[in-house]
Amino acid sequence: MRAFQITGTEGFPSLQLTTLPDPQPGPSEVLVRIRSVSLNYRDCMNVLGIRGVTGPVPRIPCSDAAGEIAALGPEVTDWQVGDRVVLPFMPSWLSGPFTQDHAAAALGGAIDGVLRDLIALPAASLVAVPEGVTLDQAATLPCAAVTAWNALITRGGLQPGQTVLILGSGGVSVFALSIARLAGARVLAITSSDEKAHRLRQLGAAEVLNYRDTPDWHLWARQQTGGEGVDHVVEIGGPETLNRSIQAVRHGGHIALIGVLTGTVGQIETVHLLRKGLRLNGIYVGSRDLLAQVTQCVAQGGLLPVIDRVFPFEASAEALRHLESGAHFGKIVIQL
């Protein structure tokens, strides 16, 4: 099979196309022929070794994919060859609470990922792709959509009429916008360009701010809520944005800490977390059950994945460079 591997620490030049033996499914596994892979910023971090992210080499990157079942292990009875499936971010996390073991099984991190033709996974970990949902769309769901759903619905407890602040226009933020609107919430958004602001409004954001023109976006967010502050923040930036998010959220509000775009270490004003009685949740994707919920929501028309560009498999490095540039809006997909 074809596969891209991270072969060293030189960044994009270390991402090399190679040929590896085809994997074989174990007794309770299925072999999936991957057709679509979608990218997350984590994939750039892994390839470039930035933000302190490292792992074994050689290693196949990327975590999110959808495809078709190519072969069945002898004990598998609930799937058929040709069934369309989407792969979970952590194949061992089927339901229930998050554990250290699940984190260690995240695809494309400490273990090989999905930027390849074939992968063998436990049959119980897969989710069927319903009719009417393309494999490109399904591939966008395992990380970004599940993360946004976990942040706002499962752990956030989002209620109709509440206000959600999203940062940026990448995959998680765009899915969070759609999920919040679906739940009956009002969405405020900040972004880096007027063009992206226009697109966010088209997707249903009530108010959008270009933070390059107005850096004090936390003050703007409070103004949009009559000085009280927002109910939820989907925080993707990390240390350089978290303090502003703390200022933007109301007393007793909720911050879902998701990304580390600005780094992994920084000074945080913990006194305001205390005095405002805030709830700060670290969100690291979610279970296979949450992926099934999100997939059904897409099938029912509640969510529509926003795909920025589609690249051929051979142009995977170019796709990752496009992601690194920050010029994208929504998700980037690689087709095999």
* Judgement on whether residues 183 and 314 belong to the same structural domain of the protein: no
pLDDT number for residue 297: 95
pLDDT tens across 200-239, in order? 999 999 999 999 999 999 999 999 999 999 999 999 987 7
From the number of C-beta atoms within 10 Å of its C-beta (0-12, 13-18, 19+), residue 258 rates as buried
Task: Inform me whether the pLDDT recorded for 52 exceeds 70.
Answer: no
The residue segments making up the domain with residue 121 are 2-142+287-335
pLDDT number for residue 263: 63
Q: Any idea which residue has 């190519």 for tokens? A: 70
Q: Which of 265, 282, 299 is the last residue of a domain?
A: 282
pLDDT number for residue 153: 97
* Judgement on whether residues 133 and 74 belong to the same structural domain of the protein: yes
* Judgement on whether residues 93 and 172 belong to the same structural domain of the protein: no
Is residue 148 included in any domain, yes or no?
A: no
Q: Any idea which residue has 């040709």 for tokens? A: 82
CATH number of the domain that 115 lies in? 3.90.180.10
Q: How far apart are CA 196 and CA 329, in angstroms?
A: 7
Is residue 230 included in any domain, yes or no?
A: yes
* Judgement on whether residues 200 and 186 belong to the same structural domain of the protein: yes
> Domain count of the chain?
2
Is residue 221 included in any domain, yes or no?
A: yes
Strand segments (E) across 100-181:
118-122, 127-128, 163-167
* Judgement on whether residues 313 and 272 belong to the same structural domain of the protein: no
Is residue 151 included in any domain, yes or no?
A: no
Task: Return the SS3 of 155.
Answer: coil
Ordered alpha helix ranges (H), 49-106: 100-104
Structure tokens at 324: 């690194």
Task: Inform me whether the pLDDT recorded for 148 exceeds 70.
Answer: yes
The total number of residues shown for the chain amounts to: 336
78-99 exposure pattern, b = at least 16 Cβ within 10 A, e = fewer: ebeeebbbbbbbbbbbbeeebe
pLDDT number for residue 17: 97
Percent of the chain with pLDDT over 70: 98
Q: Any idea which residue has 């750039």 for tokens? A: 44
* Judgement on whether residues 257 and 297 belong to the same structural domain of the protein: no
Percent of the chain with pLDDT over 90: 87
* Judgement on whether residues 216 and 233 belong to the same structural domain of the protein: yes
166 in Cβ contact with 336 (< 8 Å):
no
* Judgement on whether residues 11 and 109 belong to the same structural domain of the protein: yes
pLDDT number for residue 262: 60
CATH number of the domain that 229 lies in? 3.40.50.720
* Judgement on whether residues 278 and 292 belong to the same structural domain of the protein: no
Ordered alpha helix ranges (H), 249-287: 270-275
* Judgement on whether residues 135 and 257 belong to the same structural domain of the protein: no
* Judgement on whether residues 188 and 260 belong to the same structural domain of the protein: yes
Provide the angle, in degrees to the nearest 10, between the axes of the packed helices 316-325 and 41-48.
Answer: 110
Instruction: Output the DSSP codes for 23-50.
Output: P---TTEEEEEEEEEE--HHHHHHHHT-
Q: How confident is the model at residue 256 (pLDDT cuts 50, 70, 90)?
A: very high
pLDDT tens across 268-316, in order? 888 878 899 999 999 999 999 999 999 999 999 889 999 999 999 999 9
45 in Cβ contact with 264 (< 8 Å):
no
Is residue 147 included in any domain, yes or no?
A: no
Query: Cis link prior to 58 (omega < 30° from 0)?
Result: yes
Mean pLDDT (whole number) for 5-21: 93
Mean pLDDT (whole number) for 189-194: 94
* Judgement on whether residues 268 and 177 belong to the same structural domain of the protein: yes
Is residue 40 included in any domain, yes or no?
A: yes
